[in-house]
Amino acid sequence: MQDYLFDEHFDKYPLAMAYVPWQHFDKMYDDLEKAFHNGTIFPELNKPFTGRRCV
Amino acid sequence: MGSREQMLKDIGIVDFTLIELTLYLDTHPYDRSAIEYFNHYSRIKNQMTKEFSQKFFPLTIDMAESNKEWRWGMAPLPWEGACN
């Protein structure tokens, strides 16, 4: 699977299309119970919805 | 060795971790470090499931090895609150 670096190929991306940045396995929560309650083992994907703004 | 509820909770947490790693590996099948984590937690989960099944009741049919009574049939049913 190809690994896209958005910053490097910015001009190659057609306009009006949606892109999802490629995830890299960096770290996971040491405390798995915390991960379970957050709904993800990846700290960078822990994005609680507050009803007003994204965190 | 914990209580039945604590062990079930811990199994659920490790199972969730495995599901997360599975989702990641489905799109990153050559990520060695994620594979190592998966193998690690997979072994732990198997061990925990086996331990729980021997101590309390079989969680899956392949853990239902029985002697005098059919353990699978004797296990509490989900609507009896045993899975909470």
Q: What is the DSSP string of B11-50?
A: HHHHHHHHHHHHHHHHH-TT-HHHHHHHHHHHHHHHHHHH
Residue A47 domain-assigned (yes or no) = yes
CB-CB contact of B52 with B8 (8 Å): yes
pLDDT at A2 over 70: no
Share of chain A above pLDDT 70, in %: 80
Q: Tokens representing B43?
A: 């072994």
Question: Across the interface, which of B17, B29, B34 has its CB nearest the CB of A32?
Answer: B17
Residue A35 domain-assigned (yes or no) = yes
Please list every residue in chain B whose beta carbon sits closer than 8 Å to the beta carbon of residue A40.
20
Report the range of poorest mean pLDDT among A11-20, A34-43, B61-70: A11-20
Instruction: Tell whether ipTM is more than 0.90.
Output: no
**Residues B26-42: pLDDT tens digits?**
999 999 999 999 999 99
Q: What pLDDT is attached to residue A51?
A: 81
Q: What is the Cα–Cα distance from B28 to A18, expressed in whole angstroms?
A: 20
Report yes or no: B37 at the A interface, CB cutoff 8 Å. yes
Residue A52 belongs to domain spanning:
23-55
Question: Across the interface, which of A23, A36, A42 has its CB nearest the CB of B16?
Answer: A36
Task: Using a cut of 0.90, tell me whether the model's pTM lies above it.
Answer: no
What is the dihedral sign for C-alpha B63, B65, B71, B73?
positive
Q: What is the Cα–Cα distance from B24 to B36, expressed in whole angstroms?
A: 13
Total domains in chain A come to 1
Q: What is the Cα–Cα distance from A16 to B73, expressed in whole angstroms?
A: 57
Residue A17 domain-assigned (yes or no) = no
Inter-chain residue contact B31 with A35, CB threshold 8 Å = no
Report yes or no: B2 at the A interface, CB cutoff 8 Å. no
Report yes or no: B76 at the A interface, CB cutoff 8 Å. no
Residue A13 domain-assigned (yes or no) = no
CB-CB contact of B27 with A51 (8 Å): no
Residue A5 domain-assigned (yes or no) = no
Task: Name the residue among A55, A30, A53 with its Cα closest to residue A45.
Answer: A55
Residue A31 domain-assigned (yes or no) = yes
Residue A50 domain-assigned (yes or no) = yes
